[in-house]
């Protein structure tokens, strides 16, 4: 029995989750590409102040991620997801409404609180629905596709429909988050699915930190997230310097999203699922570092588009692999806590990355130092991941999961989603 009542019903609930992912990413990426420009041009913030405002979200993201995992495993996930979506929607509206530095910082903190509540519960539910090991990577790849459909629509809606009208864009994005919250609250099952939510003793939570493979992987992932978060800050600021109409930068995210929608599933099936996760992550980080470093040479929109495309190849390798690896290193009983801790760690990495990126970019987007730093960081982190591949505790954990994986099949998963036989042979 699947975690939410059989594969047919689980397929419906997964579709609801993917719809929520699409809406939340549509709302987020109506705002993310324009937020640094909006804060600089409309709100009069300096680059250093922009870096600080954007670095605020990860602080509350960390705390609420841990709270989300605990609440999801204790009282159920749908309410936690809904409240998180509503808080982030309120924060996005606040960015449009307020003008002072400290109030904008407060909106950054509120946004982090909302995302931290929403994301781990969503990922934990996906992991629970895709209970079989082969299905986890597939499920998180589908999540990536749904997310990038939302991102693609965001750029089109922002540039061609709303015409770069900042205030209208922010309020529309807030409304989408409110809608996503209602979908989660009314269309997902109560509690924890088939089984009652359990009160997990504190000592069992402490067992998570005895999982050496998970702890070390989490520490290394801090550096991955610190590098990954640079695109949302650096590319818009570079665009604002070199483009006559910087709001066109939102179309870069649209093109990147289309690339993901077209290539994510083939890439997952032909490379990610057949390669050790640490090698996949190492290659992905190299692409991210190369994409960021190449922004230095940009002189027009098309070069920025190319840099974004290089970066997105790395993202397609990293995101589903990170989620699937956590779901494999974690335990089913505490999967919400594992994803909560993972989001805490990613918040640490993003906070460090945004602050450090803001300080580097104070040198100016024409200086080679920020871009060279990003490229070198990609090489160093990639080398660290290759070394981690041969660390005995991680080898043991992955070998154990691989043996479990070979005993399962993805057929029922695809049947639950699409109502037909598995295309996997």
CATH code of 297's domain? 1.20.1250.20
How far is the CA of 134 from the CAs of 7, 152, 198, 268, 333, in angstroms? 15, 28, 27, 12, 19
Euclidean distance between CA atoms 142 and 176, whole angstroms: 21
Q: Which two tokens stand for residue 336?
A: 């919400």
Euclidean distance between CA atoms 260 and 27, whole angstroms: 18
Q: Which two tokens stand for residue 84?
A: 């998180």
pTM given for the model? 0.70
| 73 close to 336: Cβ distance less than 8 angstroms | yes
The closest alpha carbon to 170, from 93, 269, 271, 273, belongs to 93
Low-confidence residues in the chain, pLDDT < 50:
1-8, 133, 408-414, 416-417, 420-425
In a domain, 142, yes or no: yes
> How crowded is residue 85: how many other Cβ atoms within 10 Å of its Cβ?
29
Q: What's the N-to-C CA distance of the chain in angstroms?
A: 23
**What range defines the domain where residue 126 resides?**
7-195+207-409
The closest alpha carbon to 334, from 216, 220, 209, 225, belongs to 209
In a domain, 336, yes or no: yes
Residue with tokens 């290659």: 283
Euclidean distance between CA atoms 1 and 252, whole angstroms: 43
| 292 close to 375: Cβ distance less than 8 angstroms | yes
| Residue 404 pLDDT | 52
In a domain, 202, yes or no: no
Total of domains in the chain: 1
In a domain, 51, yes or no: yes
In a domain, 254, yes or no: yes
In a domain, 420, yes or no: no
In a domain, 12, yes or no: yes
């Amino acid at each position: 029995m699947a975690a939410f009542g059989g594969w047919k019903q689980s397929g419906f609930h997964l579709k609801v989750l993917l719809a929520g992912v699409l809406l939340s990413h549509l709302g987020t990426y109506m705002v993310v590409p324009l937020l640094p420009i909006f804060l600089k041009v409309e709100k009069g913030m300096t680059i250093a102040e922009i870096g600080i405002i954007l670095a605020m979200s990860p602080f509350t993201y960390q705390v609420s991620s841990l709270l989300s995992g605990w609440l999801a495993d204790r009282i159920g996930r749908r309410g936690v997801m809904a409240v998180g979506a509503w808080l982030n929607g309120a924060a996005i509206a606040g960015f449009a409404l307020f003008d002072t530095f400290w109030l904008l910082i407060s909106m950054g903190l509120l946004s982090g609180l909302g995302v931290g509540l929403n994301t781990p519960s969503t990922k934990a539910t996906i992991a629970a629905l895709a209970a079989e090991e082969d299905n986890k990577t597939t499920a998180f790849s589908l999540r990536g596709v749904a997310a990038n459909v939302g991102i693609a629509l965001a750029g089109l809606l922002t540039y061609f429909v709303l015409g770069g009208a900042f205030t209208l864009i922010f309020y529309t994005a807030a409304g989408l988050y409110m809608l996503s919250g209602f979908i989660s609250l009314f269309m997902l099952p109560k509690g924890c699915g088939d089984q009652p939510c359990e009160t997990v003793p504190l000592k069992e939570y402490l067992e998570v930190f005895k999982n050496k493979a998970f702890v070390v992987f989490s520490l290394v992932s801090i550096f991955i997230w610190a590098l990954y978060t640079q695109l949302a800050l650096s590319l818009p600021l570079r665009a604002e310097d070199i483009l006559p109409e910087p709001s066109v930068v939102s179309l870069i995210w649209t093109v990147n999203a289309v690339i993901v929608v077209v290539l994510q599933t083939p890439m997952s099936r032909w490379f990610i699922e057949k390669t050790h996760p640490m090698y996949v992550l190492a290659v992905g980080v190299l692409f991210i570092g190369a994409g960021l470093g190449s922004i230095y040479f940009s002189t027009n929109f098309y070069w920025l588009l190319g840099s974004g495309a290089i970066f997105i190849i790395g993202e397609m390798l990293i995101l589903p692999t990170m989620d699937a690896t956590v779901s494999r290193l974690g335990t089913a009983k505490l999967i919400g806590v594992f994803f909560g801790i993972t989001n805490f760690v990613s918040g640490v990495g993003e906070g460090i990355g945004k602050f450090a990126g803001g300080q580097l970019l104070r040198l100016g987007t024409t200086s080679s130092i920020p871009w060279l730093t990003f490229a070198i960081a990609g090489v160093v982190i990639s080398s660290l991941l290759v070394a981690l591949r041969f660390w005995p505790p991680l080898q043991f954990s992955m070998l154990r999961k691989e043996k479990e994986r070979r005993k399962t099949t993805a057929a029922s998963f695809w049947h639950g989603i699409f109502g037909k036989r598995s295309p996997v042979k």
